[in-house]
Amino acid sequence: MFHLIWTAIIGLLVGALAKLIMPGKDPGGIFVTMLIGLAGSFLGTFLGRIVGHYQPGQSAGFIMSLVGAMILLGLYHLVRRSQTA
């Protein structure tokens, strides 16, 4: 149970930091920020395994989770910009 709470807190921190680093208007409140952080962690793990940085069974660290969340926010901004143009 505490593992899930800890994962949610880390996801919130990663999502909030990614929102601070990426310029522009970002979506949602606290839950969307948490989901961005968690999805960034999954993306970071996936990308890390592709390049051979992580072995099966390992998950992304804080920095790679942040990179994944920033990639997701960048994609969000790209899609949003193309829809308004």
The whole model's pTM is what?
0.84
Taking only the tens place, the pLDDT of each residue in 49-69 is 898 888 888 877 888 899 999
Closest C-alpha to 71, from 3, 9, 22: 22
- The reported pLDDT for the residue numbered 62 is 87
Residue with structure tokens 């522009």?
Answer: 24
Domain ranges of the chain: 2-84
Rounded to an integer, the average pLDDT of 16-24 is 87
Taking only the tens place, the pLDDT of each residue in 4-17 is 888 888 888 998 99
Rounded to an integer, the average pLDDT of 30-59 is 87
pLDDT at 34 over 80: yes
Closest C-alpha to 14, from 25, 23, 6, 3: 6
